[in-house]
Structure 1
Amino acid sequence: MKKILLAATISFGISAMAQEVKPEAATTDTVKAWSIQGQNTLMLNQAAFSNWVGGGANNVGWLAGVNYNLTYEKGKDLWENIIILGYGQNNTKGIGTRKTQDVINLSTNYGREFAKNWYLSGGMSLQTQFAGGYEDGNNPEAKKISNFMAPGYLNIGVGVTYRPNDNFTMTLRPANARWTFVLDEDLQTAGTYGLKNDGDSSLFQFGFLGTAIYKIKIMENINLTNTASVFSNYLDHPDHLVLGYSGVLNMKINKFISTNITLDLLYDHNQIQKTQLKQTLGVGFAYNIDNGKKRSDKKDNQSWLK
C-alpha cells in the first residue's frame, strides 16, 4: 500500500510540474514575438490674475494623447505598428477656446529579412487631424484652412527597412503612392493642398518616401524621440520635397507624472512655401506600458521608454 501511495505521489508531482512549465514556456514565446510600448498622457495648464498690474488674461488648457508602438518580431518577420493621437485646447478669457494640438498619425509596416538587419518591406500610413483649423489662431469666425481629412495624407509603398536595434528604424520606399484628400467641400478649390481643379477631393502623387525614427536616452528618465521624413513626387516637380521632422523630449518625474516638450517642423510646397513650426510644453499625468522584454537576442534593450 505504501508503495502504491509513493508511486501515486511521484506521478502527481511530475504532472503538476509539467502543467506549471507549459504555460510559462508559451508566455515567454509570446512576449518575445510581440512588444507593446505605449504612453498615455494628460497635460494641464492654468493661469489666473487679479489686480495684476503687469497684465494678463485668465486661461486654462489641456492636452491629451496616446503614443503606441506595437511590434511583432519572430524569425525573419518584422511587423511594426504605430498609433499617435493627440488633441488639446486652451480657453483664454476674452478670446475663447482655441485648439493647441491636433494630430492623427497611424502607420503599419511589414518586412521580411533578406540580410542582417535589412528587410524587404511594404506598408501604409495615414496622417490627418480631428477638427477644423482657422487662419486666425483657430478662431471659428475666421477663414477655415483645415478640417478632418482636409487635408488627409495616405501613403502606400514598398521598399526596404533597416533596423539594427530597437532604437533606430529607417525605411526607404522608391515606389510609394501618396494621396492627398480634401473632403471638406469648403476647401476644395484649385491650389489648396495642390488640388488641380475646383471641386477636386483628392490629389494623387507617386514617388520616393524615406522615414526614420531615432530614440535617444539622454540620461536617466530623460528620453528624446526623433522622427523624420522626406517625399519626392516623380510625376511633378520632384525637386519640391516634402520634409518633416518631429521631436518629443520626455522627462519623467515619477511613475505617473512627466513633462513633455514637442517640436514639429514641416515644409510642403503644396501647403505654403514656408517652413511650418509647432512647439508645445506640458506637465501632467503619464502612464507608460512596456512589457520590458527583449524581442530577440540580437536586439538592444528597450530602456529608452522605461
Structure 2
Amino acid sequence: MRSVYLFLTVVLFSSLASAQTIEELKALKEQKQDSIKLLEDEVKFLTEQIDNVKGWQVGALLTGGISISQFDNWYAQESPNVNSGKIGFNFNGFANLDRDAYFWKNAMNVNIQWVKFDDKNDPNDNEGFREATDVFNVNSLFGYKLSEKFALSAMAEYRSTLLSNFNDPGYLDLGAGVTWLAIKDELTIVVHPLNYNFVFSSSDDIFTSSTGAKVMADYFKKWGDLKVKSNFTGFFSYKSSNFSNWTWTNTLAYTLWKNIGLGFEFGLRDNKQEALNYAINTLGIPDADFDNVDNALQSYWLLGINFSI
C-alpha cells in the first residue's frame, strides 16, 4: 500500500512540475516575441532614417527587341519575296533626391525603333532600315515641401526626337504650381497652372508657343519580380485647344534571372499641331488646317528582352 501512495505522490509532483514548466516556457515565449517585435521596430526605424539621409537614388529599365524574317516565293502575300526586320530599344532612367524640406526628381525616356521592308521584286524600294519610332523625353521636377504630401514645385520638361528632325519640332515646358506626393516613392501628381510651352520648329505657321496648364502623373510600383512604370504628361493651352498635347507611356518589366527578363512598353500621344504638319509637309495636302485635319491617336509598342539597373 505504501508503494501505491509513493507512486501516486511521484505522479502528482511530476504533473505539477510539468505544468509549471509549460507555463514557464509560455512566459519565456512571450518575452522572446516581445523582444523580436522590439527589434523589428528598431530595424524599421533605422531603415527609415537611412532612407532619409541617403543621397541620390538612381535606376533604369532597358528593353531591347529584334525581329528579322525572309520570304521567298510566298505567293499568298502581295510581295512574295521580302526581307524584313525590326530593331528597337527603350530606356527609362531616373535620378531622385529626397530630403526633409525638399525633393528633386529627374527622369528620361528614350524609345527608338528601326524597320526594314525590302521587296526584292521592286528595285526602287528602300532596302535599308528606316526610323519607325523616335521618342525623347526628359524632365526635372523640384519641390519645396509644405507637408508630407504637398509641395510647391517648379518643373522643366523637354520633348523631341533624336534620329531625325531633332528639335523640329521640340517642346520645352517651364512652369510652377503644386505637387501631390500621393504615395511615397510610387505616385507623384503635378499640377502647374502657370506654364509656358515653348515650341521650336521651322514651320512657325503651324507650331505656336503659348501659355497653359501643365499636368503630370508618374507612377512606379514593384510586385515581386514585376516592375510597372506609367507616366502621363499633358499641356493644355489657354490660347486654343489646337495647341494642347499629351503623351502617356507605360512600361512593364518582369525579371526572369538576376537583372534580365521580359519588357513591354506602349505609348499613346495626341498632338494636333504634329498632325497638321504631317498633312501639309508629308502628305502634301495644301488646304489642310486645324478644322479639317485628321488628328488620329498616335501610338507605339515594343516587346523584347529587359535589363534592370
TM-score class, shorter-chain normalisation, is: 0.5 to 0.7
Find the counterpart in structure 2 of residue 75 from structure 1: 100
Corresponding residue for residue 266 of structure 2: 263
Q: Which residue of 2 aligns with 1:131?
A: 163
TM-aligned CA deviation for residue 233 of structure 1: 1.7
**Does the CA contact (< 8 Å) of 2:63 and 2:304 recur in 1?**
no
In 2: Cα distance, 1:70 partner to 1:189 partner: 35
Letter in 1 for 2:184: N
Hey, what does 1:281 align to over in structure 2?
302
| Change in 2 beyond 3 A, CA 1:66/1:243 | closer
- Residue in structure 1 matching 2:136, options 92, 104, 116: 104
**In 2, Cα distance between the equivalents of 1:255 and 1:54?**
43
Matches within 5 A, 1:1-306: 32-55=54-77, 57-94=82-119, 95-96=126-127, 97-132=129-164, 147-163=165-181, 164-182=183-201, 185=202, 188=203, 190-191=205-206, 194=207, 203-217=208-222, 220-234=224-238, 236-237=239-240, 241-272=244-275, 274-284=295-305, 286-289=306-309
Instruction: Look up the equivalent residue of 1:226 and give its one-letter code.
Output: S
What RMSD, in angstroms, separates the aligned Cα atoms of the two structures? 2.6
C-alpha distance after superposition, 1:73-113 (max 9, x if no partner): 12211000112223221222224322122111111011111
Q: Quote the Cα distance in structure 2 between the aligned partners of 1:87 and 1:75.
A: 38
Summarize deviations over 1:173-210 as a string: whole Å, max 9, x none: 0101110101xx4xx2522xx3xxxxxxxx32111111
Residue 243 and residue 65 in structure 1: after superposition, are their counterparts in 2 closer, same or farther (change >3 A)? closer
Query: 1:256: how far off?
Result: 4.9
C-alpha spacing 1:222/1:126, structure 2 compared with 1 (3 Å): same
Contact 1:263 1:277 in 2 (8 A): no
CA contact (8 A) 1:77 1:113 kept: yes
Q: AA paired with 2:307?
A: Y
2:130 aligned partner, one-letter code:
R
Paired with 1:91 and 1:238, the residues of 2 have a C-alpha distance of 37
Q: Which amino acid aligns with 2:297?
A: Q
Asked which structure has the greater CA Rg, the reply is: 2
- Greater helix share, structure number: 2
Work out the CA distance in 2 between the residues paired with 1:281 and 1:106. 20
Contact kept, 8 Å, 2:196 with 2:212, in 1: the verdict is yes
User: CA, structure 1 residues 244+84, in 2 after alignment: closer, same or farther (shift >3 Å)?
Assistant: closer
Question: What count of residue pairs does the alignment treat as equivalent?
Answer: 232
Instruction: Answer whether contact 2:249 2:268 (CA < 8 A) is retained.
Output: yes
Q: Would the aligned equivalents of 1:232 and 1:238 in 2 still touch at CA under 8 Å?
A: yes
Inter-CA distance 101–73: structure 2 relative to 1 (3 Å threshold): same
Higher relative contact order (CA 8 A, sep 6+): 1
State the TM-score, normalizing by the size of structure 1. Answer: 0.68
3-state SS of the aligned residue for 2:192? strand
C-alpha contact 2:261 2:307 (8 A) present in aligned 1 = no
Q: What is the DSSP-based 3-state SS (H/G/I as helix, E as strand, rest coil) of the residue aligned with 2:54?
A: helix
In the aligned structure 2, how far is the partner of 1:38 from the partner of 1:181? Answer: 29
Letter in structure 1 aligned against 2:247: G
Partners of 2:272 and 2:242 in 1: CA distance? 10
Q: Which amino acid aligns with 1:204?
A: S
Q: Which amino acid aligns with 2:102?
A: D
